[in-house]
Every structure is written in structure tokens, then in C-alpha cells.
Chains A and B, each alone.
Chain A
Amino acid sequence: MSARASATLYGARVARASWLGRLIARATARDLSAFVVPGPEIARARGLDLRAAGLHLSPTPRHANVLVVVGWLPEGLREPAAVAYTQMPRPRAVLALGAKGVSPLPGPDVFVDLDQGALDDGVAKLRRLFAEGAFDPEAESFEAAALRSKTRYACPMHPEVVQDEPSTCPQCGMDLIPREGAAGAGHGHADHGHGGQDHAHHEGMDHDEDTGEDTGGQAHGWLPHPGGAEDEHDDAEHGESGYVEGSGEGHSHEGHGREHGLAHGDAGGGFETREHGGHGGMNHENMDQGTEDHNEEGPAHEKHGDMDKGGMNHGGHESMDHGDMGFMSMVEMTQGTPRSSDGLQMEWVETPFGPLFPGLPGGLSLTFTLDGDTVAQTQAGSAVGARAWEGLNGPVESFAERLAGLDPLSPLSYRLLALRAVESAAGARVDESDALARVGALERERAASHLNWLAGFGYLIGYSWLAKRAEELQLALLRADAEEVAGIRTRVRQFTRRVERTPLLRRKLAGVGRVPDLDRAVGPVARTGGRRIDARLEEETYLPLGFEPVVLEGDDAHARLRARLAEAEQSLGFVEEAGGVSTPGAAPEIDGASGRGAATVETPRGAANLALTLEDGDVTITELETPSARHLGLVEGVTEQRELADALVGVASLDLSPWEVVR
């Protein structure tokens, strides 16, 4: 670590310095691609333009060499972030913005404040670091204890038999099979080899380690065992003149990886389950590809190994655990596996699309069980939400601050919610001009939030022009002063026209993301289902502004896209009328007031309700309802039995913020 004081890079690639190395290092310094944690939308919400700073944004950590950590990293993202880091090929670096990195990530190579100027400096520093220290014969390996896992040995036939040492099963005499996972991961395995109906979808993901090549987790997300992976890199690199591939002759690491792969990614790597792939609900992908393991495991698996490859549908190998079959028809192979709605038999593959998936908001943990490219089952959750609202309780002076910190995607709405609830509890009145300024601030946030969503959505649907333009407008809006808002409104209007005229957009989005249960929806999602639901309708401040919510029919991704564009434009109109965009100040002066209070704010995602009690300057939340918490329950209905791309579009169209959800 002491070496870090000079210009060395913690994530340097192990190689001797040579003229060629220096040349490559200099090229690398000018070719920085970033993987952003928690996600690019957080950077945008904070007004950071990563591209302008010279970073190319990469959809996968595999193609990146800089891990950009924007702001404070919630606990649920730390391991996924570390995994993403281990998946980046070296030389690699961590650029932390606003908050120092947190374990298990290594300390940041460059740490700067959260603003554009500091970011530019940080990138310049990174370039110097790469140019001077991209290759270092003494680079350290990245080891993170938190990512370690334990290899245990289990009987393929008797799930209850799990031992720490390799041996044979006391019940049937079969060799125990190494399996990786967090200690105690003995569940889930059951039934393997019994036709395994309930495991069908976990099937088949042995990760062959014997070649020693892995780097752990092919996927962004899967928890490889970073320590081991790194060691391998070192082995491979030592002794060669430098630019060796990081694979190669590394020793093999049995079993790294971990039970829960968190990050986004296709599974894959982390889990060493050998023969019977992942129990324990993981990820893991597809098919048994490797064959070596099988062969080691004795005759029973030999055939299995030989066969897997053949099945085009990698269907149901589980039944193949029966060793005595020489030939198996497709019908036999797929017996007992779950049927998809189309009757076509495929192996179900659990694939994570989050929490660090490029097309969705960072922190949203989405797992699809893929049946071919159809989503058979969905699990949605948040990796970044609060553990419990109680964590927000405390002194009233800083309550607004704490609630504003809840959701980096719409901090102002929550600040306003806190202020209103406290004022209602204390019986304080807000004068008209303040109320109007608050409207201005809230509406500006709404417009910016919608544009931010649009930028991410454009990226997801592969509409680069839309993504880029929305990002430009959003950043311009965040930086605009009161006079410039009018100009931005005009640009948003032109932008809206252009988007409406886009060929194929309606065809792509129409009918996608229909919500079966609209009663649970609020905000733009409800309003695009033809419902006139808006908390602003009841607010006095909006009356003179002539507010009328944007209500559209359609209930699909296309309607939501149009509605958010229309709302953005409408909101900018209100900002102009409000004449100011000053952020609401701290909590009002309340001396020892007590009482109960409640408030509602129409956040960009829908109405958020807060009820609290105020006692001697202490706030206790009794109820907090956020739109994303409601909408998270809609994800299943939007995705199941949909083609993968449509499912993702559907999820994205809900504009979920995983931050405002209790995990």
C-alpha cells in the first residue's frame, strides 16, 4: 500500500516495465472506459457528465478499466461492486467520487469530490496513473475476505451429506463432490439425480475449474473468487515478458465464488457446484459445458458430460445424473422439467439483471428465470433500499436532510415531503412565495428526473440519439439558472416532436409493459392507464397555475414515454411561472413542538406519503409510502411470459427507484 503514494496503480497488471509496456500504458491512459456504480443515472442525477470528462461508458465491467463509484455506496452494492472490480481485466483502477470506496472494494486509486471540475481533475490524475503505473512487476493481488467462499463436499445423491473434506458418502459410497458457496450452503441440492423436478432450472452449471483459467465469474455479477482469480493472473503473467494473456497456466482454484452473486450479470462463474449446478438459487446459466469434471466424477457422470453439449436446448440434464443411461431421447431428457407456456421444452436458466445491469437503474436486483429468451419467472428487489424506515428517525433539525438522502434520484421531492410533514405536525404555515419556490424546485426535479429516465431508457432500447439528447438536456437543466429554463423548455418541446416522429419507436414500445393490476400504480404509470391520479390536484399552490395532469391511454411503455416527455415540458412551464428554483431550506424553526403530521408529495414517480410524530424535537416515522415500493410489485406482471427484451423494456418503463424501497 505504501507504494501507492507514488504513481502506481493498485490494479496494475503484473509485468516488467519495458519500452513496449510504457507505450501501451500511455495508450491505455488515453482510452479509459468506465463501469459506473451504482449506475450512470446516479452520476447524471448528480449533474456529472462522465463522457465530457473523457470516460467512455462500458456496458460491462469486462470491457472497462475504470470503476467509477459515484457517491456513497450502500451496503447492498459493495459486494457487487467488488465483483465488478474483479471482473475488470487489469490494468484497472477505482475512481471514487464524493465518498471513499468501501470494503471489500480496494481503496480508490483516485478520490475526488462530486462535481464536474473535480471529476475532470480526477480523470486527468487517472490518466497519469495509468501512463506511469499500468504495468508493475510487483502489483498486489486484490483479495477481499468478504468474497471468499468455502469449498465443501457433498454427496450427489444425498443432499444431507456435506463434509469439509473430500471423501466418500457414508450412505452410498459415492465420491463427494466439491461445491462452493458460503459456508452452510447445503440446501437446494436435494433431489438432484432424482429426476430433479424442482431443480430443473438450476441445472447444469458446472463451472469447470480445472483448466485454471477462470477469472471468476464470467459475468458481471457472479461472484467469482477474486482472490483466487487474481492469483491466477499473477501466475500467468510472471515470467513472461509482459503481455501475456491472463489466462493460461494458472493453478486451478477449486471453488471460488459464492452463493449469491449479486451484481448484474450472467452468472456463471462464481459458483462451483460442479455436477449439479447451482442449487441455492443462483444465477447460473446455462448448460454444462465443461466435460472434465464430469469425467472425473466417475462413470455415472461421464455420459452426462458427453451428452450435455449435444442437447440443443440444453434441456434438463438433471435427469442425466442417472448414470446408467447410454442414450437418452429428448423426451426423456426433458421429462419432468417445467413446461413453458408454448410447450417448448428448454432448460430454465436463472439470470441476474442487476443490481449493476447497464440497462436498468443501479441497485435494482432483478432475476429472470429464462426459458429460452422468454422470462418464465421474475424476482425483483432492491439492493440499495433502506433496511427500515426507522433508520430515518431522529432529531427534527436534520430530518429533511436525512430523508433527502434516501433517494439520490429525487432528493428534492423527499426533502419537501419531510418539510411538509414536519410543518403539518408542528402546525407551521408556509408563506405563498416560499410555497411557489418549492413548486419550482419540485417541478424542475420532475423534469430532470424524467429526462434522466429517458436517457437510461434510450440506452436500453438501443436508441442512441434519444439517450444522448436526453442526457444533454437533463444536464443542461440541472445547471440552468431561472432564465435559461425557458430555452430548455423550447428544446424539450422540439425533442418531444422529434421523438414522436421516430420511425419504429411506436412499433417497438406499443403493448409492452402493460400492467395487469393498475390499481396498485401511482404517478405516470397510473396516469398512462387513463387514471387521473395526481397529488398535485389537491395542492393549493398548483391551482393558480392551472395544473391539469397528463393523462394518456395506452398503459404501455410507449404511453409512458410520451407522458414523461409531456410532463417534463409541463413541469418546465411551472418552473418558469414559479420564477425560481431555489431549493427549499432546512426544517422550519420548531421549538419543542409536538404532534402528528402527514404529507404527500407527487414525486416524479408518483405520490409519496409520509406520516410522522414529532415529540420534543424528535421525529418518528409512522408511515412512509413510496411509489417504487408499490411499483416493485408490478414487475412480475410486466415481465412474466414476455420476451427478454420486452420484459426489460417493461421494467424500465415503470421508472423504479430501488433507493426508495425497504429491502
Chain B
Amino acid sequence: MTTVLIILALLVGAYLVAVLEGWVSTGRFRPAAPVLSGVALLGRESLVPRKPDRIFFEVGPVLLLVSAVLAAAVLPLSPGLIITDLATGALFVNAALAYVMVALLMAGWGPDGAYAMVGGFRFLGQLVGYSMPIVMTIVGVAMRAESLVTTQIVESQATLPNAVYQPVGFVVFFVAAMSVCFLPPFDLPTAPGELAGGVTAEYTGWRLAVMRLARAVLVVTLAASVTVFYLGGWNGPVLPPWAWTAAKTLAVAAVMLVAGRHVPRLREEHLLAWYWKIAIPLALLNILYVGIVLIAGSSSSMSM
């Protein structure tokens, strides 16, 4: 039952993200657009390139969807409303999201096309950038909660969300999360102007529909993880807990979608340089900072 509810919530979330994305990019609010577009894609031919690596080609989009859903499985919508409350939940998010790279690499290699391939390998480079900061910032979150269990992480923020408690970690995680779901300005693997769609360029029909759905679910998952790790998850007055999680998640997704429109796509070299020269040191400092605050807090409470 919980699983069904969460999956439903994910789908609704993905739908809303698609509506938002359309709204942001065309300036028109068309709530029916994703349905029309999805149905139309199902009615289109789904072509297979001439010389595909068939397994990679077919598996890529599906794996992308699976990894996004898997990561969402450990993110609570409200107390008790979580597919599986793993003891290593926060790390599991990371492990599941690692397959985003695998999926994109497969989708890039599979069709045997230069644009797609360059896109796939670009994302590999992107992973080299974001993967360290994203784990390191989660460390800071786990330290405060003294647990990797996502529900406990949410509970640890009952008085003060992590976004305020450790703002540096929040910013780094937010940016890294945008890179994971390759939203602009981190859309190096899909880059419409540079690679004519990149990893998605050779997908058509229902396969493209799966790809787009997977991407939307991925955005929801990452927005939800920002919510759970930094924005206090379900904590909030008046509204029921699930509504808080949902509202925060949507807000995060909206910020992610809008922000990318106002900056140019990053250059690959800058992306790597900034992640390694700025984001990783910041994430490490964040760990140090959280450690100091925790020790100071515990010693002061002990002395009382």
C-alpha cells in the first residue's frame, strides 16, 4: 500500500514537474500538455538506430527510471509513509543515483551515434564532479541526525532545518542535485544546441516517452532528497506532513527548473574545476563546521 502510494506520488510529482517545465520554457501554463505529449509519443514510431548496441540502447532509459525510483524508495513522504526505511537510507540514495550515470552512458553508447556518445561521456565527467560533494554533504546531514536513516534525518530537523543549520552544505548539495538530474545549466549530456539532444537524440516514440518520464521522476527524486536532507521534510505547521513534503519538493523542483534558464550552460572544464576546487573543500569545511557545532552543543548541554 505504501509502495503504491509513493509510486503514485512520484508519478503525480513527475507530471507536475513536466507541467512546470513546459510552463517555464514556453511561458504558457498548459496542464494537459504532458498527457498529450505522452500519448502522442506512444503513437509515434519508436525507431531503432541502424546499428545499435541493442541491450544498452533498450536498457538505458529504463535503468534511468529504475534508479530514480529506487532512490525515492528511501525518501519519506510523511512519518511511516516510506517504501523502506533502510538503516543506510542516506547512503542508499547515493548508491541508487550512481546508476543515473550508468544509464546515461548506456543510452549514449547504445545508439551508435556521435552526439549521443559524446553526451554519455560528458555525463561521466559530470559524475566525477558531483559525486564527491554530494556524498560529503550528506555526511554533514547524517552527523547531525547521528543516523543514516532518512526518517531520523527528518526528525533531527524538527527545530531547525539543515538548510539553515548548515547552509554551505545545502547550497553544495542543491547544485550537485541539479547536476545529477542534468538540468540546465548542467545539461551537458543533452545539450540541445550543442549535441542536438545528446543522449536523448536517438530515442523516439515510446522509448523517448520513457526517457522523459525517467528524467521527470529523477527531478522529483532529487527535489525530494533536498527536501528530506535540508528542508526538514514533513516538518511544518498546520498542513498534514505529506503535504509539507510535497509542497517543499515541488518548490525545490520549480527553483531548479527556473534557475537554469537564467545562466548559460557550464563548460565541462569549469564544471570539474569548480566542483573539485570549490565544492569539495566547501563540503569538507561543512563537515568540520557541523562537527564543531555538535561538539560545542553536546559539551554545553553536558555542563548544564
Contacting residues, chain A, for B262 (C-beta < 8 A): 463, 465, 502
1/0 contact string of B46-88 vs chain A (CB within 8 Å): 1111111110000000000000000000000000000000000
B201 in the interface, Cβ–Cβ < 8 Å? Answer: yes
User: For chain A residues 467-491, which have a beta carbon within 8 Å of chain B?
Assistant: 468
Residue of A30, A51, A237 ringed by the most chain B CB atoms within 10 A: A30
User: Which B residue sits closest to A14, measured CB to CB?
Assistant: B45
A56 to B21 Cα, complex, angstroms: 13
Q: A207-B112, A245-B206 are in contact. Are A214 and B51 (CB under 8 A)?
A: yes
A296 to B139 Cα, complex, angstroms: 54
| B42, A462: Cβ atoms closer than 8 Å | no
| B112, A643: Cβ atoms closer than 8 Å | no
User: For chain A residues 8-47, which have a beta carbon within 8 Å of chain B?
Assistant: 13, 21, 23-25, 27-28, 30-31
A428 to B44 Cα, complex, angstroms: 61
User: Which B residue sits closest to A242, measured CB to CB?
Assistant: B43
- Which one of A23, A243, A269, A645 contacts B191 once the chains associate, using CB atoms below 8 Å? A645
- Which one of B50, B115, B184 contacts A213 once the chains associate, using CB atoms below 8 Å? B50
| A243, B42: Cβ atoms closer than 8 Å | yes
A91 in the interface, Cβ–Cβ < 8 Å? Answer: yes
B5 in the interface, Cβ–Cβ < 8 Å? Answer: no
1/0 contact string of A238-257 vs chain B (CB within 8 Å): 00000101110000000001
1/0 contact string of B231-265 vs chain A (CB within 8 Å): 00000000000000000000000000000111111
A265 in the interface, Cβ–Cβ < 8 Å? Answer: yes
Contacting residues, chain B, for A264 (C-beta < 8 A): 196
How many of B's residues come within 8 Å of A, CB to CB? 62
The count of A-to-B residue pairs whose CB atoms sit within 8 angstroms is 253
| A285, B112: Cβ atoms closer than 8 Å | yes
Contacting residues, chain B, for A209 (C-beta < 8 A): 50-51
| A464, B261: Cβ atoms closer than 8 Å | yes
| A65, B267: Cβ atoms closer than 8 Å | no
User: Which B residue sits closest to A268, measured CB to CB?
Assistant: B113
Q: For the complex formed, measure the closest distance between the CB of B209 and the CB atoms of chain A, giving whole angstroms.
A: 11
A509 to B266 Cα, complex, angstroms: 10
User: Which A residue sits closest to B118, measured CB to CB?
Assistant: A373
A556 in the interface, Cβ–Cβ < 8 Å? Answer: no
Which of B9-17, B31-39, B152-160 lies at the interface with chain A?
Answer: B31-39
How many of A's residues come within 8 Å of B, CB to CB? 88
| B47, A246: Cβ atoms closer than 8 Å | yes
| A245, B46: Cβ atoms closer than 8 Å | yes
Contacting residues, chain B, for A13 (C-beta < 8 A): 43-45
A504 in the interface, Cβ–Cβ < 8 Å? Answer: yes
User: Which A residue sits closest to B22, measured CB to CB?
Assistant: A56
Q: A90-B44, A502-B264 are in contact. Are A219 and B193 (CB under 8 A)?
A: no
A468 to B26 Cα, complex, angstroms: 9
Q: A213-B48, A269-B49, A463-B265 are in contact. Are A644 and B118 (CB under 8 A)?
A: yes
| A59, B197: Cβ atoms closer than 8 Å | yes
Q: A56-B26, A290-B51 are in contact. Are A502 and B263 (CB under 8 A)?
A: yes
Contacting residues, chain A, for B269 (C-beta < 8 A): 643
| A30, B114: Cβ atoms closer than 8 Å | no
Q: A59-B197, A220-B196, A285-B113 are in contact. Are A246 and B50 (CB under 8 A)?
A: no
A63 in the interface, Cβ–Cβ < 8 Å? Answer: yes
User: Which A residue sits closest to B117, measured CB to CB?
Assistant: A286
| A214, B43: Cβ atoms closer than 8 Å | no
- Which one of A206, A266, A504, A508 contacts B116 once the chains associate, using CB atoms below 8 Å? A266
| B47, A247: Cβ atoms closer than 8 Å | yes
Contacting residues, chain B, for A459 (C-beta < 8 A): 192-193
Contacting residues, chain B, for A213 (C-beta < 8 A): 47-50, 52
Q: For the complex formed, measure the closest distance between the CB of B147 and the CB atoms of chain A, giving whole angstroms.
A: 37
Q: For the complex formed, measure the closest distance between the CB of B36 and the CB atoms of chain A, giving whole angstroms.
A: 5
A466 to B114 Cα, complex, angstroms: 28
A528 in the interface, Cβ–Cβ < 8 Å? Answer: no
| A461, B264: Cβ atoms closer than 8 Å | yes
1/0 contact string of A580-603 vs chain B (CB within 8 Å): 000000000000000000000000
| A219, B114: Cβ atoms closer than 8 Å | yes
| B112, A287: Cβ atoms closer than 8 Å | yes
A570 to B203 Cα, complex, angstroms: 45
A363 in the interface, Cβ–Cβ < 8 Å? Answer: no
User: Which A residue sits closest to B274, measured CB to CB?
Assistant: A507
- Which one of A219, A468, A508, A643 contacts B266 once the chains associate, using CB atoms below 8 Å? A508
Q: A56-B26, A207-B51, A507-B270 are in contact. Are A358 and B196 (CB under 8 A)?
A: yes
- What are the 4 tightest A-B residue pairs by CB atom distance, in nearest-first order? A246-B45, A462-B265, A214-B50, A24-B43
Identify 15 residue pairs between A and B in the complex whose beta-carbon atoms are under 8 Å apart, listed by A's number. Answer: A28-B40, A28-B43, A56-B26, A59-B192, A59-B193, A63-B201, A218-B50, A246-B48, A265-B113, A266-B113, A268-B111, A289-B51, A373-B122, A462-B193, A503-B263
Beyond known contacts A24-B43, A268-B112, A464-B184: 17 more, CB 8 A cutoff: A27-B37, A31-B40, A62-B201, A62-B202, A213-B47, A213-B50, A218-B49, A218-B111, A245-B205, A257-B50, A268-B49, A351-B114, A370-B114, A372-B121, A503-B263, A504-B266, A648-B193
Contact surface of B with A, Cβ cutoff 8 Å? 25-27, 33, 35-37, 39-40, 42-54, 109, 111-118, 121-122, 184-185, 187-188, 191-194, 196-197, 200-206, 208, 260-270
Contact surface of A with B, Cβ cutoff 8 Å? 13, 21, 23-25, 27-28, 30-31, 51, 56, 59-60, 62-63, 65, 87, 89-91, 134-135, 205-209, 211, 213-220, 224, 233, 237, 243, 245-247, 257, 264-270, 283-287, 289-290, 309, 349, 351, 357-359, 370, 372-373, 459-466, 468, 502-505, 507-509, 643-646, 648
